[in-house]
């Protein structure tokens, strides 16, 4: 009878340990998720900076430099219509702005919002806990 009570206490102790381990693993997994999400947000903000800068630069350049350079072209080439001077300078500035926007978009595409390392770690922990549970149930049934 006493051996039966000791085995029940041992099983309860084992199950309690498993629950504590599972709880600790879950807390660690949540911390890992937090860190990965924070890193992804930081990378996203860093990718958005050149994108926004490109947009602002395109706007300012199209307005200020476009007007000045267009008039300069018309002054250098007197037969050039004013509209052609504006078109040439506008095309050049637009190419620069588009290059900055493409750079920012490529950085955004490279970001994976899923916390892959944390998900893989969580899957491994679940597999280990499932294996422990099955082993303990098998030992308890013996």
Rounded-to-integer distance, Cα 9 and Cα 2, Å:
11
DSSP string covering 57-86: HHHHIIIIIHHHHHHHHHHHSTTS-HHHHH
Is residue 8 exposed (0-12), middle (13-18) or buried (19+ Cβ within 10 Å)? exposed
- Confidence band for 26, pLDDT divided at 50, 70 and 90: confident
| Mean per-residue pLDDT over the chain, rounded | 81
Helices 116-141 + 2-60 axis angle, to 10:
170
Residue 51 pLDDT exceeds 70: yes
Structural domain boundaries in the chain: 2-141
**CA 31 to mean position of chain CA atoms:** 16
Residue 4 pLDDT exceeds 70: no
93-125 pLDDT, tens digit each: 889 889 999 999 998 888 877 767 777 777 787
Query: What phi and psi, each to the nearest 5 degrees, are found at residue 79?
Result: -80, -10
74-99 pLDDT, tens digit each: 999 999 999 998 888 888 888 988 99
Rounded-to-integer distance, Cα 97 and Cα 104, Å:
11
Residue 110 DSSP code = T
């Amino acid at each position: 009878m006493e051996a039966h009570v000791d085995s029940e206490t041992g099983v309860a102790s084992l199950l309690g340990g498993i629950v504590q381990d599972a709880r600790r693993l879950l807390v660690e997994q949540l911390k890992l998720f937090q860190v990965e999400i924070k890193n992804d947000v930081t990378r996203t903000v860093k990718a958005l900076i050149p994108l926004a800068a490109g947009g602002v630069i395109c706007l300012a350049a199209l307005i200020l430099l476009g007007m000045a350079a267009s008039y300069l072209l018309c002054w250098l080439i007197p037969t050039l219509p004013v509209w052609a001077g504006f078109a040439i300078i506008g095309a050049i500035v637009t190419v620069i702005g588009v290059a900055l926007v493409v750079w920012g978009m490529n950085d955004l595409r490279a970001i994976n919002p899923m916390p892959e390392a944390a998900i893989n770690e969580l899957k491994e922990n679940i597999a280990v806990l499932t294996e422990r549970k099955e082993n303990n149930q098998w030992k308890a049934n013996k």
